[in-house]
Structure 1
Amino acid sequence: MEAKLEEAEWVQTRLDQLNLIEEKRLNAICHGQLYQKRLKKAFEKKVHPREFREGDLVLKKILQVQKDRLGKWAPIYEGPFVVKKVFSGGALILTNMDGKDLLHLVNSDAVKKYYA
């Protein structure tokens, strides 16, 4: 009879431990979500969205790697260009100062405002 009682107690303690593990797992998930929320808030506090309008002057980043004799002193941006059209996803259509359109759309991350 004692062996069955000890076995029943053992089963009960194992069930309690499993419930405790589940509780700890949920607690860890909650803390992870709170941490992600704090990180997002801190990141968004520092980030300033770039807004461009038609007619703005911008410099376009040179994206392809070029073998240049200037090395690290090679220019990073080219331009200035004029913003012809702005799309909602951050894409821009740029034109040269002569009014000639560029062939490809440019992401707003690859340009910065030009103050003349």
Structure 2
Amino acid sequence: MTTPRISARKLRRYGSEAVLPVEIGQPSASVESYPNSNYQTRAIELDLVEEKRDRAAIRMKAYRSHIMRSYNKHVWSRDFQVGDLVMKKVKPVGDVGKLEARWEGPFKIIQRVSSGSAFYLEDSQGHSLKRPWNAFHLKKYYA
């Protein structure tokens, strides 16, 4: 008489076949003689799982707020309004020396793009620039 076989795909893990323990169907003598105090300890641990999860969630929230504060400490806020005078970053073309101007302007903000961080600009002669400029490439002009 042969024992029923489980498919090799289910048993195969990391290149070897799994061995099913006998205790699944019939408990061994060592399992039956195990002290009941372990079951009580396990029940207490299961009761405390929610508290441990709550403490972990509080620690994660504190960690995230710490990371957010340290990140925001180094972020420069660039809030521009329509009508503000700004300077725009010069895009280097060809051979640019270290004494070349990095900013040009002033330009006047004439419209904010719907995304909120891009602006259409107008130069001092009243000619508007063809494309919008991201706030990252602009800085406030102080006269």
Normalized against structure 1, the TM-score is what?
0.66
**Paired position in structure 1 for 2:62:** 34
Map of 1:26-105 to 2, 5 A cutoff? 27-44=55-72, 47=75, 49-62=77-90, 64-70=91-97, 72-87=98-113, 89-105=116-132
Change (3 A) 1:68 1:2: closer
How many aligned residue pairs are there?
A: 114
**Is the contact made by 1:68 and 1:74 (CA closer than 8 Å) also made in structure 2?**
no
Alignment root-mean-square deviation, CA: 3.5
**Is the contact made by 2:117 and 2:134 (CA closer than 8 Å) also made in structure 1?**
yes
Deviates more, 1:14-23 or 1:77-86: 14-23
Q: Which runs of 5+ in 1 are unaligned?
A: none
Higher helix share: 1
Normalized against structure 2, the TM-score is what?
0.57
Structure with higher Rg: it is 2
Quick one: percent identity of the two aligned structures? 34
- Residue 48 (structure 2) pairs with residue 6 (structure 1): no
Partner secondary structure for residue 104 of structure 1: coil
**Is the contact made by 2:87 and 2:105 (CA closer than 8 Å) also made in structure 1?**
yes
